[in-house]
């Protein structure tokens, strides 16, 4: 995966995820047009231009993952599509990227047309105390993640703290719940639960069938990235201070590694945790990439 350091892929990238073939996908935040980029294990770089000058914030890829058994009922999982990639379009109220005809929101890649149309539009500016301390970066929808139920989730669409789901097959959008603070990140925790990080450092487990949440852990520094390793159940939390913590299934955490800058994190199919280290001012920068091998035995 040394090809991730290719500047043709990395310049301006502010979030990173991997598809089941170990192809990396990145979303950019830079002056002028922004891009959804990909880089295959062989080093081939692909690039798709986004909507005019609208900034991108996060990227998420639907994974083929083995999930822990849930005791209440068996879970039927339909076959996954060959590829499903989503990203957020973001813009602050005073940023030059805002156009009345291109509202911020969530978009999904159409592989056949190489277009990235909006599927969850947001007409408002949901800005607040985001994890990066940047007006440009901490705006719009956040917490983009696919659940193990093959549904796309995202927060801060219309107001800070709202958490929406998008059924991929029908493109039906519904509000799941509204938290009391701006959402910073989220990730799938098990077949019926999402883990959501909030402004203030609280991490809450959201039980999807009942739309109720409960406290799970707390971070002393704002959460910039969140991902669960379904191999051993560990959850990795990246923080604004550069620390990356590992939490067990009960929410007990301890330091794991340190990133050179506030980081977004992702787990690739090769069993490594990747940190996309984004230096201030976050926009129009070239990040660095660090990685650590995850446990291979329980």
Confidence at residue 31, expressed as pLDDT on a 0 to 100 scale: 86
**Looking at the predicted structure, is the pLDDT value of residue 163 above 80?**
yes
Mean pLDDT to the nearest integer, 189-205: 97
Alpha-carbon distance of 70 to 213, in angstroms, equals 17
Its pTM stands at 0.92
Least confident of 58-72, 107-121, 243-257: 58-72
Confidence at residue 82, expressed as pLDDT on a 0 to 100 scale: 67
At 298, the pLDDT band (50, 70, 90 cuts) reads: low
**Looking at the predicted structure, is the pLDDT value of residue 75 above 70?**
no
Residues of the chain with pLDDT > 70, as a percent, come to: 91
Which value, to the nearest 10 degrees, does the dihedral of the CA atoms of residues 274, 279, 243, 292 take? 20
**Looking at the predicted structure, is the pLDDT value of residue 36 above 80?**
yes
**Looking at the predicted structure, is the pLDDT value of residue 2 above 80?**
no
At 64, the pLDDT band (50, 70, 90 cuts) reads: low
Confidence at residue 249, expressed as pLDDT on a 0 to 100 scale: 95
**Looking at the predicted structure, is the pLDDT value of residue 109 above 80?**
yes
Residues 6+ apart with CB under 8 A from 17: 24, 25, 59, 60, 61, 85, 266
Contacts by residues 266-270 (CB-CB < 8 Å, ≥ 24 positions apart): 266/16, 266/17, 266/18, 266/225, 266/227, 267/18, 267/227, 267/229, 267/236, 267/294, 268/1, 268/18, 268/22, 268/24, 269/18, 269/20, 269/21, 269/22, 270/1, 270/22
| 68/30: higher pLDDT | 30
* Tens digit of each residue's pLDDT (9 = 90 or more) over 276-291: 999 999 999 999 999 9
Alpha-carbon distance of 233 to 142, in angstroms, equals 24
Which residue ranges make up each domain of the chain? Answer: 56-293
* Tens digit of each residue's pLDDT (9 = 90 or more) over 129-149: 899 999 999 999 999 999 988
Confidence at residue 67, expressed as pLDDT on a 0 to 100 scale: 46
* Tens digit of each residue's pLDDT (9 = 90 or more) over 210-246: 999 999 999 999 999 999 999 999 999 999 999 999 9
Average model confidence (pLDDT) across the chain: 90
Q: Does the domain spanning 56-293 belong to CATH 2.120.10.80? A: yes
């Amino acid at each position: 995966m040394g090809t991730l350091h290719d500047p043709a892929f990395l310049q301006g990238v502010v979030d990173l995820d991997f598809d089941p073939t170990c192809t990396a996908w990145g979303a950019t935040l830079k002056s002028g047009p922004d891009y959804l980029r990909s880089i295959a294990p062989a080093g081939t770089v692909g690039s798709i231009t986004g909507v005019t000058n609208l900034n991108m914030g996060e990227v998420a890829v639907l994974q083929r993952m083995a999930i822990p058994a849930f005791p209440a009922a068996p879970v039927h999982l339909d076959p996954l599509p060959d590829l499903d990639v989503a990203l957020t379009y973001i813009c602050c109220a005073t940023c030059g990227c805002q156009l009345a005809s291109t509202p911020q929101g969530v978009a999904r890649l159409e592989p056949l047309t190489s277009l990235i149309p909006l599927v969850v539009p947001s007409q408002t500016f949901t800005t607040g105390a985001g994890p990066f301390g940047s007006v440009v970066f901490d705006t719009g929808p956040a917490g983009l993640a696919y659940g193990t139920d093959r549904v796309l989730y995202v927060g801060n669409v219309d107001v800070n703290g709202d958490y929406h789901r998008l059924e991929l097959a029908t493109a039906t959008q519904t509000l799941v719940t509204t938290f009391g603070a701006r959402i910073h990140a989220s990730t799938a925790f098990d077949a019926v639960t999402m883990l959501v990080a909030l402004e203030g450092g609280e991490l809450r487990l959201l039980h999807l069938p009942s739309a109720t949440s409960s406290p799970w852990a707390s971070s002393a520094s704002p959460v910039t990235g969140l991902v669960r390793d379904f191999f051993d159940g560990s959850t990795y939390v990246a923080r604004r201070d550069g620390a990356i913590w590992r939490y067990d299934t009960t929410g007990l955490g301890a330091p794991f590694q340190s990133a050179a800058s506030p980081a977004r994190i992702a787990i690739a199919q090769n069993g490594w945790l990747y940190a996309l280290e984004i230096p201030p001012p976050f926009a129009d920068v070239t990040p660095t990439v660090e990685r650590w091998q995850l446990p291979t035995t329980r």
